[in-house]
Amino acid sequence: MPGVATVTVQELRQMLAQSTPPLLLDVRESDEWQFCRIEGARHLPTSQIQQRVGELEPMQETVVYCHHGVRSLMVQADGHSIGLFNVEGTFYAIDNTCTHRGGPLGEGALSGDTVECPWHGAHFNVKTGAVTAPPAGTGVRSFPVKVEGSDVLVEVD
Ligand code: FES
């Protein structure tokens, strides 16, 4: 069960000053990377995570960042790309890949317990993964989530 903890800018600064700093992973898209980046970061866009997850060392401490924090909250584990959603203080996790054409659901707008795919507008219930509006025809998998302190734990089996 992988955990996702958040760190402050100050904490990250301290972590990067250590003799064995964590991998700093930038999951923004290429146009964002070209515009600006943190020196020493490694670029792996969210849209390519599932295909390239094997390039990452699973045991290496990694700090993931993006623009607003939504993409970096997506859990990348065992080849799964998972969208993580906070609905009134309760976290829910579903497969991040829209069943229509692969849109990143974790980047979609959340309204209540419904996320809208950012690419063509399909709706999914983030509690169950069920599709509730086209053009997607089938739902996505949902994953159990629990919170321990500042860690959000997602069970991906
Ligand atoms: S990729 Fe999600 S609605 Fe088309």
- The response to whether residue 122 sits with its C-beta less than 6 Å from ligand 1 reads yes
CB 22 within 8 A of CB 62: yes
Domain 80-148 CATH class label: mainly beta
Per-residue burial over 14-41, b = 16 or more CB atoms within 10 Å of its CB, e = otherwise: eeeeeeeeeebbbbbbeeeeeeeeeeeb
**Span 5-18, mean pLDDT?**
80
pTM value is 0.60
Check residue 21 and report its DSSP letter: P
- The response to whether residue 119 sits with its C-beta less than 6 Å from ligand 1 reads yes
Is domain 3-77 in CATH 1.20.140.10, yes or no?
A: no
CB 110 within 8 A of CB 87: yes
- Top-confidence residue, 58 or 118: 118
- The response to whether residue 135 sits with its C-beta less than 6 Å from ligand 1 reads yes
Burial of 3 (0-12, 13-18, 19+ CB in 10 A): middle
Nearest CA to ligand 1 atom 4: 120
CA of 19 to the centre of ligand 1 (A): 43
pLDDT over 60 (residue 92): yes
- The response to whether residue 117 sits with its C-beta less than 6 Å from ligand 1 reads yes
Q: What's the CA gap between 45 and 147, in Å, rounded?
A: 26
Which residues of the chain does CATH 2.102.10.10 include?
Answer: 80-148
Per DSSP, the three-state class of 116 is strand
Which residues of the chain does CATH 3.40.250.10 include?
Answer: 3-77
CA of 101 to the centre of ligand 1 (A): 5
1 pLDDT band, cuts 50/70/90, is very low
36 HSE (CA, 13 A, CB side): 3
113 pLDDT band, cuts 50/70/90, is very high
Nearest CA to ligand 1 atom 3: 120
Q: What's the CA gap between 95 and 107, in Å, rounded?
A: 12
Which residue among 120, 123, 131, 138 is best mutated to probe the pocket of ligand 1, counting the most ligand atoms within 8 A of its Cβ?
120
